[in-house]
């Protein structure tokens, strides 16, 4: 008898026996509970769960970045003597990041939405739109003629695919929230759970918010039942999931259950577009996925591309610049002709080759906001996993009847920023957030208060057991004694009180954010992904933009794996 045939027959018999054994002993847990043995998703009732969930898909504009370990910070000499990027070994989880910087066209879509839903002609909504507008005056220079960019850069179609600038950190965060809601709104409509075209027929009192839909779905779209449950899938779900009559209330007609998408369905979740953390941004910029040399792994890669030079060494593109940056005094692009880098200000996205992750312009073009609050030292002694400074923990505000507090048009609260700009703190349709209190922090070891931005940065409040002995903390006791400017609304406009004390020694406080990467205004030195700079979160410039990231839920890798019961 053929030996290969014998082996194949034995293998088939063993696999059949294993399958039968699994079935008899209840070890195939796909549709049964590993805890109780009960059926899952039984038509007669019982626990309902998504047992066929597929891996998370990349949302629009995003590229998957597989997480891992890397050396964060520089190992070369610090010629600027900032001493703020000492090398530390860090690990980041897998995440997604925008392929390119957010463009003018993308931001104009955001502005158009705000203008339609919150008409600036109405006094109650005016500052929602105007608070989101980029500062186009950032292009002006006392001794420079830049009016062409001031008047055209944001809105002219010639610049549609250029990165948006003049956007503060706060504005970038608000854009990220808007983008999250519009994407999930689109997903629900595509999956048939909300009414077709609902996203185009909203006003200030009938907007969609992701968190509200997951926590109190009947309150989204202003409580319009026909819109929320108007999709084919939602209607079919309501028909199929009507519960059996309650034996204790035979005459009752209980409301259908599970008619909305829930987090357990895996269709939408609280995973959001957001600004990347500094560790994520630096890890993604280095693009270590294509390299395995020991020295590179230990942090000796200088740029997002291979090599120690800014010009291409490839035969076909030899001599071409690999990024858009300032090459010298008065030299923003080189001599016109073959050696020019084709950009004097910002450049159109995808004008240069991507790094090994497929990300464009992670060096040059514009610097980019990241989520972190700036401190000179990355505290790897306390944490070296998903490092991030800036946590302010909040929770949903709860009404007296136990429901979540969803904001209405009358609940809009505006903040007057230090620079005089007025922005909306919350938008209608969102769940009001409040700081966590002792109910959440009592006897916890991970955190003891809501605001952790200045944790372990050297001041007394950084101590876990710090207790103030006065009603108000003295601002001079702060570790970083930055100026405290005050602004308030008066009868004749804004009252601005500048801090004129002479003993202020730093500009660092809890309101300054890190930005990374060199820009079209920067010299080669700043193209190193490890370089760190900071700016108040209310300020904007003509050379800082941003891109979004999104956390990955589930497995670390997107590679196909053999499923196990």
pLDDT tens string 483-510:
888 887 777 777 888 888 887 888 899 9
**For residue 166, which of 369, 356, 371 has the smallest C-alpha distance?**
369
Taking only the tens place, the pLDDT of each residue in 210-239 is 999 999 999 999 999 889 988 888 888 777
- For residue 67, what pLDDT is reported? 94
In the structure encoding, which two tokens stand for residue 58, read together? Answer: 């990349």
User: In whole numbers, what is the pLDDT of the chain averaged over residues?
Assistant: 84
C-alpha separations of 430 from 22, 64, 211, 414, 519 in Å: 48, 29, 7, 15, 35
pLDDT given for residue 68 in this prediction: 93
pLDDT given at position 414:
87
State the pLDDT confidence band at 253, using cuts at 50, 70 and 90: very low
Mean pLDDT of 30-35: 84
Only one residue has tokens 């002479």, namely 502
Distance separating alpha carbons of residues 440 and 75, to the nearest angstrom:
41
* pLDDT confidence band for 462 (50 / 70 / 90): low
**CATH number of the domain at 55-245+256-458+510-551, please?**
3.90.1580.10
Both tokens of 528, joined, read 């190193």
Q: Which range among 248-262, 335-349, 431-445 shows the weakest confidence by mean pLDDT? A: 248-262
Which is more confident, 463 or 105?
A: 105
Between 22 and 392, residue with greater pLDDT? 392
Residue percentage of the chain with pLDDT more than 90: 53
pLDDT at 294: 45
Which is higher by pLDDT, 550 or 413? 550
- For 518-540, the pLDDT digits (tens) are 999 999 999 999 999 999 999 99
Q: Please say if the pLDDT value at position 165 is more than 60.
A: yes
**Helix (H) / strand (E) containing 246:** none
Mean pLDDT confidence for 162-178: 97
Region of poorest pLDDT, from 135-144, 273-282, 284-293, 422-431: 284-293
Closest CA to 521 of 355, 373, 366, 411: 366
Question: Does residue 131 register a pLDDT over 50?
Answer: yes
* Res 41: pLDDT: 83
Which of 150-154, 174-178, 245-249, 399-403 shows the lowest per-residue confidence on average (mean pLDDT)?
Answer: 245-249
What letter would DSSP give residue 36? T
User: Which pLDDT belongs to residue 209?
Assistant: 96
Question: What pTM value is reported for the model?
Answer: 0.88
**Residue (of 275, 325, 352) closest to 528 by Cα position:** 325
Confidence of residue 348 (pLDDT cuts 50, 70, 90): very high
- The predicted structure's pLDDT at residue 19: 45
Confidence band (pLDDT; 50, 70, 90) for 563? low
Give 390's pLDDT tier (boundaries 50, 70, 90): very high
- pLDDT at residue 248 above 60? no
Give backbone dihedrals phi and psi of 532, rounded to 5 degrees, phi first: -130, 135
Strands, E assignment, 326-443: 367-373, 394-396, 414-416, 422-424, 433-435
The structure tokens listed for 313 are 């060494």
The b-or-e profile of 485-494 (16+ CB within 10 A means b, else e) is eebeeeeeee
Query: Measuring CA to CA, which residue among 430, 410, 366 is closest to residue 107?
Result: 366
Q: At 534, phi and psi to the nearest 5?
A: -145, 160
Other residues' Cβ atoms within 10 Å of the Cβ of residue 136: 18
- Mean predicted confidence (pLDDT) in 189-209: 92
Model pLDDT, residue 54: 82
> Is 357:304 a contact under the CB 8 Å cutoff?
no
Tell me the pLDDT band of 475, cut-offs 50, 70 and 90: low
pLDDT at 295: 46
CA distance 406 to 279: 34
With a pLDDT cut of 70, the percent of the chain lying above it is 85
Give the mean model confidence (pLDDT) for residues 257-283.
89
Residue 252 has pLDDT above 90, yes or no: no
pLDDT band at 21 (very low <50, low <70, confident <90, very high): very low
Amino acid 230: pLDDT: 87
What are the tens digits of pLDDT across the range 138-150? 999 999 999 999 9
């Amino acid at each position: 008898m053929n030996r290969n045939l014998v082996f194949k027959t034995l293998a088939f018999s063993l696999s059949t026996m294993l399958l039968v054994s699994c079935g008899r002993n209840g070890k195939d847990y796909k549709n049964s509970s590993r805890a109780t043995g009960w059926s899952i998703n039984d038509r007669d009732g019982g626990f309902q769960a998504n047992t066929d969930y597929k891996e998370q898909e990349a949302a629009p504009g995003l590229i998957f970045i597989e997480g891992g370990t890397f050396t964060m910070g520089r190992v070369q000499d610090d010629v600027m003597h900032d001493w703020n990027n000492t090398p530390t070994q860090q690990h980041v989880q897998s995440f997604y990041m925008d392929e390119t910087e957010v463009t003018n066209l993308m931001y104009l879509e955001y502005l158009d939405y705000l203008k339609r839903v919150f008409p600036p002609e109405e006094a109650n909504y005016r500052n929602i739109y105007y608070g989101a507008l980029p500062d186009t005056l950032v292009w002006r220079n006392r001794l420079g003629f830049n009016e062409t960019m001031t008047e055209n850069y944001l809105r002219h179609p010639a610049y549609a695919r250029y990165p948006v600038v003049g956007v503060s950190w706060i504005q970038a965060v608000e854009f990220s929230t808007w983008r999250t809601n519009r994407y999930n709104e689109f997903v629900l409509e595509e999956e048939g759970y909300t009414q077709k075209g609902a996203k185009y027929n909203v006003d200030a009192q009938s907007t969609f918010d992701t968190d509200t839909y997951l926590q109190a779905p009947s309150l989204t779209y202003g409580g319009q039942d026909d819109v929320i449950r108007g999709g084919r899938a939602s209607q079919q779900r309501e028909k199929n999931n009507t519960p059996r009559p309650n034996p204790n209330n035979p005459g009752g007609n209980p409301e259908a259950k599970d008619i909305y998408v829930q987090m357990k369905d895996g269709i939408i979740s609280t995973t959001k577009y957001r600004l990347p953390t500094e560790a994520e941004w630096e890890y993604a910029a280095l693009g270590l996925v294509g390299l395995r040399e020991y020295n590179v792994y230990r942090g000796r890669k200088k740029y997002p591309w291979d090599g120690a030079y800014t010009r291409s060494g490839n035969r076909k593109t030899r001599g071409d610049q690999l990024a858009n940056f300032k090459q010298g005094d008065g030299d923003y692009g080189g001599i016109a002709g073959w050696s020019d880098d084709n950009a004097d200000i910002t450049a159109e996205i995808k004008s240069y080759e991507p790094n090994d992750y497929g990300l464009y312009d992670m060096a040059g073009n514009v610097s980019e906001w990241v989520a972190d609050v700036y401190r000179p030292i990355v505290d790897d002694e306390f944490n070296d996993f998903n490092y991030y400074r800036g946590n302010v923990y909040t929770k949903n505000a709860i009404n007296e009847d136990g429901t979540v507090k969803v904001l209405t048009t009358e609940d809009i609260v505006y903040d007057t920023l230090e620079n005089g700009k007025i922005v909306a703190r919350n938008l209608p349709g969102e769940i009001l957030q409040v700081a966590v209190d002792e109910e959440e922090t009592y006897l916890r070891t991970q955190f003891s208060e809501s605001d952790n931005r200045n944790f372990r940065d050297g001041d007394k409040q950084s101590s876990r057991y710090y207790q103030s002995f006065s009603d108000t903390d003295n601002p001079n006791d702060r570790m970083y004694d930055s100026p405290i400017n005050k602004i308030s609304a008066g009868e004749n406009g804004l009252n601005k009180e500048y801090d004129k004390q002479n003993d202020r020694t730093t500009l660092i406080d809890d309101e300054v954010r890190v930005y990374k990467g060199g820009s079209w205004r920067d010299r080669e030195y700043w193209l190193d992904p490890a370089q760190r700079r900071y700016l108040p979160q209310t300020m904007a410039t003509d050379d800082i933009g941003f891109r979004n990231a999104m956390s990955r839920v589930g497995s670390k890798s997107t590679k196909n794996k053999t499923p196990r019961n």
